Amino acid sequence: MGSDKEQGVLVTGGAGFIGSHTVVELLERNVPVIVIDNMTNATASKDEEELPPVLQRIKKIVNPQQGEKLHFIKGSFGDVELLEKIFTKYAISAVIHFGGFKAVGESKELPMMYYSNNVGGTLKLIQSMQKHNVTNMIFSSSATVYSAPGPDDLPLSEKSLTGSCTCPYASTKFFIENILRDLCYADKNWTVISLRYFNPVGAHASGEIGEDPKGIPNNLMPFIAQVAVKRREHLNIYGNDYQTKDGTGVRDYVHVVDLAKGHTAALDVLPKKNGFHTYNLGTGIGTSVLEMLKYFGEVVGRELPYKICDRRPGDLAVMYCDASLAEKELGWTATKSVKEMCEDLWKFQSKNPNGYLP
């Protein structure tokens, strides 16, 4: 007898930057989505009864029938009682696990908060999945699980050395990958695809959703965007004495919508796979800080102010990936250029100078 529960994919952290863009892609494929998010890293609605602004925006992007398939539960992915309610109410086919704290600097100051929330919470999530025989997961991992590469170690492939992480945040991603790998080894019913993001930037082409960091942005592109809308005076460039084309840090920037499509590609492949698999999601192209600043200024139509400062502790000179395995096995490749990343980010930021806040 078929289950009369509503089918769906559980998306933890679905109100966040990458989570929200992935929810759009899922809904546009008519996949019902249950978002669980405690809103610590996303803008909550003033009225508890209302959907958070980002989810209201998502409903504006998709069509009404697709919007009906979006369900939101406020809470933590590690809350066992809440998970019990969700797995009892819905027939969850897979979990896409974005949830977790992600600030590099904060993780150094509050490691136990990161280990408890990110690792401890994920253990609770896995146990709830096991109890309800849900054994498919896509895990939001990160390029930060890779050990610091030397010049001969680039581009980074999925076989590159991992571990010796530079901060507790990265260690949580590394530990969770190992937990999931060991789980899949012990229980052959499980399939896990771990997606290692390089540097996600940009926004949905509608300008409705994008990156809305709370407080001072840690990452380059949201900071540059806030300089462009004059919320910040100038960009601080953390070092211009690296062994790179112009002395500034080089990264593999990937459009957040490309990244979201990487998750739906992985979801399509999940039923045909078994065990634990990791894939880099990047472009394979390195772009420097000064280049990103120039490209964004071209989109905005004026040069953006910056100052050269000391290096940021823990920063690497160069990071970019070999994304050929994702292309081969997921049929995924990044299609959007750095210019499109800047155009879409600028459209979101100029339409929403204060992010999702009114």
Binding site for ligand WQD (CB under 6 A): 102, 104, 142, 144, 197, 199, 218-220, 223, 235-238, 249, 251, 289, 312, 315
b vs e for 325-343, b when ≥16 Cβ sit within 10 Å of the residue's Cβ? bbeebbebbbebebebbbb
135 vs 288, beta carbon nearer ligand WQD: 288
CB of 87 to ligand WQD, least distance (A): 28
CB of 59 to ligand WQD, least distance (A): 27
b vs e for 236-271, b when ≥16 Cβ sit within 10 Å of the residue's Cβ? ebbbbebebeebbbbbbbbbbbbbbbbbbbbbebbe
3-state secondary structure at position 329: helix
33 vs 220, beta carbon nearer ligand WQD: 220
132 vs 294, beta carbon nearer ligand WQD: 294
CB of 101 to ligand WQD, least distance (A): 10
8 vs 202, beta carbon nearer ligand WQD: 202
For the beta carbon of residue 45, count every other beta carbon within 10 angstroms: 16
Q: Which of 146, 169, 197, 295 is the catalytic position?
A: 169
16 vs 32, beta carbon nearer ligand WQD: 16
- Give me the residue whose beta carbon is nearest to ligand WQD: 249
Instruction: Compute the distance between CA of residue 194 and CA of residue 165 in angstroms, rounded to an integer.
Output: 17
Instruction: Compute the distance between CA of residue 33 and CA of residue 68 in angstroms, rounded to an integer.
Output: 10
> Which own/partner pairs from 115-119 qualify as long-range (CB within 8 Å, at least 24 positions apart)?
115/168, 115/171, 115/172, 115/175, 117/76, 117/78, 118/169, 118/172, 118/173, 118/176, 119/172, 119/175, 119/176, 119/179
CB of 242 to ligand WQD, least distance (A): 8
CB of 11 to ligand WQD, least distance (A): 17
| Rg of the chain, C-alpha, whole Å | 20
169 is annotated as an active-site residue: yes
How far does CA 15 lie from the centroid of its chain? Answer: 11
User: Do the beta carbons of residue 35 and residue 73 sit within 8 Å?
Assistant: yes
CB contact set of 302 (below 8 Å; sequence gap of 6+): none
144 vs 283, beta carbon nearer ligand WQD: 144
Instruction: Compute the distance between CA of residue 87 and CA of residue 222 in angstroms, rounded to an integer.
Output: 36
How far does CA 9 lie from the centroid of its chain? Answer: 17
CB of 187 to ligand WQD, least distance (A): 27
Supply the residues annotated as catalytic: 169
